[in-house]
Structure 1
Amino acid sequence: MTALTATRLDLAALNAMDRDAFVAAVGPTFENASWIAQAAWSRRPFASVDALHAAMLDVVRQAPEERRLAFLRGHPELAGREAQAGTMTAESTGEQSSAGLDALSREELDEMQHLNRVYRERHGFPFIIAVRRHSRQQIFEALRARAAGSTDVERRTALEQIGLITRGRIDALVGG
C-alpha cells in the first residue's frame, strides 16, 4: 500500500495498528526510510494528523547527524537516474510528473542532470524540493540558486522541504 494509491485511513484505525501494519501504511510517506515510521509508532496514539506528522518529523530531527545525512542521500534526484530507470517510489514518480519533470526537453534534461551533479558534488546529497508547490521554471531557478549555497543551510532547507512533501503525502493518506 502506498500513500498515493491507498484508501484513506482513519486516524483511529491508524492508532490501533500494530507496528508492522503502521509501518506498511505510513512508512512510504518518508522516502525509503521505514525506520521513521517504526520509531514514530511508539508515540501513538496521535491526537491529530498534525501530531502524527510532527512525531515523524521529530524522529528525523532527533536522529544522529549521519543517519539524517543518509536519509537525505536516499532521496532521488529530480529527473535523475532513478526516474529514467523507473525505480523511484510511486510517491516521487507522481510528484515529479505533476511538475512536468517526466516530460523535459533534451536541453532541459541535460541542464537538470548537470545541475543535479553540481548540487550533489557540493552538498553531498540530492537537491530536494516540494515539487508540487513549484512550477518547472521555479524548480530550475531554485536548483541553480541553492547549488551555490551553504551546505549547512541546504541541509536545513532540504529537511524543511521534506516536511512539506511528507505533509502532503500524509494528508492524502490519513483522515482525521
Structure 2
Amino acid sequence: MTTQDTSRLTLTDVNAMTREEFVAALGGIFEHAAWVAEEAHARLPLADAEALHAAMTDVVRAAPAERVLAFLNGHPELAGSEARAGTMTDDSTGEQKSAGLDSLSAAEVEEMTTLNRAYREAHGFPFILAVRGRDKETVLEELRTRTARPTPAEREEALTQITHITHQRLTRLVK
C-alpha cells in the first residue's frame, strides 16, 4: 500500500475553492500579501500549477508602483531584526535557515546588518533573494554586489527573486 501526501492540494481542489477558501489556502504564498490570492482567484479555473503561479505573479506585476513598493517592503530583511525576534513567517524562517542565516557569527550578523541598511537606503526596500540552495557566503556576496546596482534593476530583480521564492512555496503546497 502506498501513502499519499494529503497535505498538498490538487489543482482540482484549488479550482473548486471559494474566494475565501482560496485566500485561506494560498494567501501566504506571497509574503504578507493576501491581496495577490484575492485577485488571482478571479482567474480560476486554471490548467495546472504553473498557470496558477503565473496568474498570481501577473497580479503583482500588474499592480500600481506604490502597491508593488509596499509589497516589497513587506518582506523581511535576511537575518534581520524579524529573524532575531522570531517574528517571520514559517516559510521565511525555513528558507533563511536553509541558507544558514540562523547561525551567523557575530561578525557576520554585523556585516549583514550593515549591508541590509545600505541596501534599503539605496533602494527603498529590503534585499530580496531566493535563498534555498544557497549558503550564507553566497547570500552575503549577492547583497554586496546588488547594493550598488541601479534601483530600477533591483526592483526588477527583487520581483524575479520573489517569483522564484513563491514558485518554490507553491510547488510544496499544490500538486
1:16 alignment partner in structure 2: 16
2:140 alignment partner in structure 1: 140
TM-score calculated relative to the size of structure 1: 0.95
- SS class of match (2:43): coil
2:44 alignment partner in structure 1: 44
Distance 2:73 2:168 in 1: 21
Cα displacement (A) at 1:136: 1.2
- SS class of match (1:8): coil
Distance 1:152 1:134 in 2: 25
- Name the aligned partner's letter for residue 67 of structure 2: R
Q: In the alignment, is the contact (CA less than 8 A) between 2:98 and 2:133 conserved in 1?
A: no
2:119 alignment partner in structure 1: 119
Is 2:62 aligned against 1:62? yes
Aligned residues: 170
Q: Whose radius of gyration is greater, 1 or 2? A: 2
Q: CA RMSD in A?
A: 0.9
Distance 1:46 1:116 in 2: 38
Distance 1:108 1:21 in 2: 42
- SS class of match (2:32): coil
1:7 alignment partner in structure 2: 7
Q: Which deviates further from its counterpart, 72-81 or 130-139?
A: 130-139
Cα displacement (A) at 1:133: 3.3
2:3 alignment partner in structure 1: none
Q: Which runs of 5+ in 2 are unaligned?
A: 1-5
Cα offsets for 1:105-156 (capped at 9, x unmatched): 0000000000000000010000000000322111100000001110000000
RCO comparison, higher one (Cα < 8 Å, 6+): 1
Q: Which runs of 5+ in 1 are unaligned?
A: 1-5
- SS class of match (1:75): coil
Pairs within 5 Å for 1:35-114: 35-114=35-114
Of all paired residues, the percent bearing the same amino acid is 59
Cα offsets for 1:71-109 (capped at 9, x unmatched): 000000001011111110100000000001000000000
TM-score calculated relative to the size of structure 2: 0.96
Distance 2:57 2:119 in 1: 24
Q: In the alignment, is the contact (CA less than 8 A) between 2:79 and 2:109 conserved in 1?
A: yes
- Name the aligned partner's letter for residue 45 of structure 2: P
